[in-house]
Structure 1
Amino acid sequence: MKRRAFVLGLALAAVVPPVSAQQLLKLKRMAMVSPAAQTADMTANSNTGYYRAFFQELSRWVYIEGQNINIERYSGGGETARYAQLAADVVATHPDLIVATGTPIAMQLKRVTQNIPIVSLFGDPVAMGIVSTLGRPGGNSTGASIDAGLELHGKRFQLLAELIPNLSRVHYLASEAYWERAAGVGVRLAARQAGIPIVELPLGRTVSQEAYQDSFRSIQRNQPTAVMVSDEGEHLALRHTLVELIAAQRPPAAYPFRDFVEAGGLMSYSVDLSDLFRLMASQVADIFRGRKPAEIPVHQPTKFELAINVRTATALGLDLSPSFLARADQVIE
């Protein structure tokens, strides 16, 4: 038994980065802020894979909730008008670090604090003024970007057009504020280059089931059209509701993350969110160990995965060619 414990200790020492006893014993306070996710889902035992990945990686760095880190969780409930006050409320609690999901939340936090370290998942942080450069962010923010620019948006339009040869237009679901950001500009340009007209489906100031239903009333049944969903965090938190509502309307739909496809959506071309959340957890650990956010590069992914739900495609009467399926990184039967 002693030998087994000794061998296990050696194995752990090989994978866990070194950390001083003083750093481990000092209790840290972290705030987690989501635009719409339920706070009960932002845990190590979450039903959402990327949250589980975040806490698993944080634990690997020997930061464990209830032992040497306390975590306070906040949600904007999908009400974009609340984000400014939410950011101010979080900062007023003076946590040691803030983890934020989504560009709007990250922007609001940046406005109200220049001192508290912030690790965010966002779109283009340089274009939105959150960081100076990706390599040397400056200030108090770092994190991971999901925005690979025009090429990513163009690839999504290309895949959707390949799947639906008679595609005449795409209804694009996004908040009003999205079209004012760099990502919205990129979507319009990518659609123009692909020769696919887009019809904007604005959501107003609150992202909810009711807002989705109001937007979808403009989609006529049996039109040769499709839906694309923006990569805003509000959609991700409501992915099951959104997938069900789109299924009821029956247009083919392309989603921004694989999580939607796992929930029954048709297809996605995206980064792996679990990978990004693991990376963010390592950035959190770096900051707790004394490194400054200004010196931690913002991660911009270079790997993207195609996921397709065969059952949903069959229900929609879509013909999936062998070559299309062969390119998929994940095929859900």
Structure 2
Amino acid sequence: MRRAAVVCILFVFAMMMAGCGQGKQAESAPQTSAKSDASKQVKVGITQIVEHPALDSIRKGIIDQLAAEGYKDGTSMQLEYVNAQNDMNNVATIAQKMAADHKDIIIPITTPSAQAVVNQAKDTPVVFSAVTDPVAAKIVPALDKPKANVTGTSDASPMDKQVELVHAFVPKLKNLGVIYNTGEVNASVQVDMIEKAAQAKGIKVVRAGVTNSNEVKPGAESLAGKVDAILIPVDNTVVSSFESLLKAANAAKIPVFASDSDTVKRGAVATYGIDYYKLGKQTGVMAARVLRGEKPGDIPVETLKDVQLIVNAKAAQSFGLSIPEQLKAGAQIIK
């Protein structure tokens, strides 16, 4: 009897241990599920040619909007951001690596980065940002019917209005200096637009072409005594070296005007500029649509149409300029 009782107790104990083992297995199931969810993170690559306030604002807008759309870095999104340091060799290498990494989407910021990515990523969805003229840059064949895997946003600036603005501040304007990177298609397109608008007003455009950031200051110095004002297009090389340009312009007493609001905040006199953070958010909306399944080729290229007159009062004063009365009412004046 005692032996039978002991056997019975051992049997019951064994059954209880088996039940505990099953309970532990059940408890471990959510860990497997969590790992599976993590593996479903979308892989997003962002690349930009160089860091400066305007481009950094775009990137922040993209990331903030993706988060608002439900794609948060570290949870539902695995984000890789790479800056090319304004080196075209780096631009090509980054594009090649991201294309080979099977990203769910690549978001290149600026024309050179977009050109490189589009050349490498034949199947990966691409949503570019801050490409001034994507057709001229051969990134898309048309704004309303882009490539099957490519769409994005343009930061085209109204160059006719920029020339009018410079003329309003400098009524005796006869010669307008323009500094730009001759190797950037977007910059060359803008300079052609500036020249056309200036010619209509009887103003001569004096070009100072550069190929890298080290040439920006000498380029500005070369305009001394030749021009009445300088207008900078949306040019990454020139904007990233703006402080050296401004130093040369101050020495020559040549007022500098810009094509983006961040450069006015840094010391240019004025611009009809777009809000680059808003452009980034607009790009983020488009990227989220693609991540949810829409084909990039079905989404036309978009432009941020709203422009804001921004005037740096301190910069204007430093160049001996006053703010025209007709511009004060609608301007955002930085003091």
Global fold match (TM > 0.5):
yes
- SS of the residue corresponding to residue 216 of structure 2 reads helix
In 1: Cα distance, 2:290 partner to 2:40 partner? 14
The percent of aligned pairs where both chains have the same amino acid is 22
Q: What TM-score does the superposition give when structure 1 sets the normalisation length?
A: 0.80
Question: Pick from 123, 126, 132: which aligns with 2:135?
Answer: 126
The match for 2:42 is 28
Letter in 2 for 1:160: V
Equivalent position of 1:113 in the other structure = 121
Alignment of 1:10-159 (within 5 A): 26-37=40-51, 48-80=56-88, 82-121=90-129, 122-147=131-156, 152-159=158-165
Distance 1:123 1:23 in 2: 39
Q: How many angstroms apart in 1 are the aligned matches of 2:73 and 2:200?
A: 48
The worse-fitting range, judged by mean Cα deviation, of 99-108 and 182-191 is 182-191
Partner of 1:4: none
Deviations 1:240-284 (A, max 9, x none): 555455445432111111011122221111222111110101111
What SS is found at the alignment partner of 2:302?
A: coil
Q: Given that residues 216 and 241 in structure 2 are in contact (C-alpha distance below 8 angstroms), is that contact kept between their aligned partners in structure 1?
A: no
Distance change (3 Å), C-alpha of 1:235 and 1:141: farther
Aligned counterparts, 1:203-242, within 5 A: 203-204=210-211, 206=212, 208=213, 210-220=214-224, 225-239=228-242, 242=245
Structure 1 residue 86: deviation in Å?
Answer: 3.6
CA contact (8 A) 2:146 2:301 kept: yes
Distance 1:75 1:116, change over 3 A: same
**Contact preservation (8 Å) 2:163, 2:194:** no
Partner of 1:192: 199
Asked if structure 2 preserves the Cα contact closer than 8 Å seen for 1:131 and 1:139, the reply is: no
2: CA distance between counterparts of 1:247 and 1:78?
Answer: 26
Deviation per CA, 1:163-215, whole angstroms, max 9, x where unpaired?
A: 001222111111112468533432332222232111111111x2x2x221221
Q: Secondary structure, in 3 states, of the residue corresponding to 1:308?
A: strand
Match of 2:46, SS state, is: strand
SS state of the match for residue 327, structure 1?
coil
Residues 222-244 of structure 1: CA deviation (Å, up to 9, x unaligned):
x6511111212344444555545
Matched residue SS, 1:194: coil
Amino acid corresponding to residue 267 of structure 1 in structure 2: A
Contact 2:107 2:127 in 1 (8 A): yes
- Where 2:171 maps in the other structure, the secondary structure is coil
Q: How does 1:218-297 map to 2 (within 5 A)?
A: 218-220=222-224, 225-239=228-242, 242-243=245-246, 246-297=249-300
Superposed CA RMSD: 2.7
Unaligned runs of 5+ in 2: 1-35
2:179 matched residue in structure 1: 173
Tell me the equivalent position of 1:14.
none
Larger radius of gyration: 2
Matched residue SS, 2:178: strand
State the partner residue of 1:13: none
Aligned-partner Cα distance in 2 for 1:200–1:224: 10
**Is the CA contact 2:221–2:252 (under 8 Å) kept in the aligned structure 1?**
no
Q: CA deviation at 1:82?
A: 4.5
TM-score, length of structure 2 as denominator length: 0.80
Structure 1 segments unaligned to the other structure (5+ residues): 1-21
3-state DSSP of counterpart to 2:153? strand
Cα 1:134/1:178, change in 2 over 3 Å: same
Summarize the Cα distance change of 1:108–1:170 in structure 2 as closer, same or farther, 3 Å threshold.
same
Distance 2:102 2:244 in 1: 34
Corresponding position of 1:302: 305
Instruction: Kindly indicate whether the alpha-carbon contact (under 8 Å) linking 1:137 and 1:296 is maintained by their aligned counterparts in 2.
Output: yes
Q: Give, in whole Å, the separation in 2 of the partners of 1:243 and 1:119.
A: 33
Contact 1:146 1:300 in 2 (8 A): yes
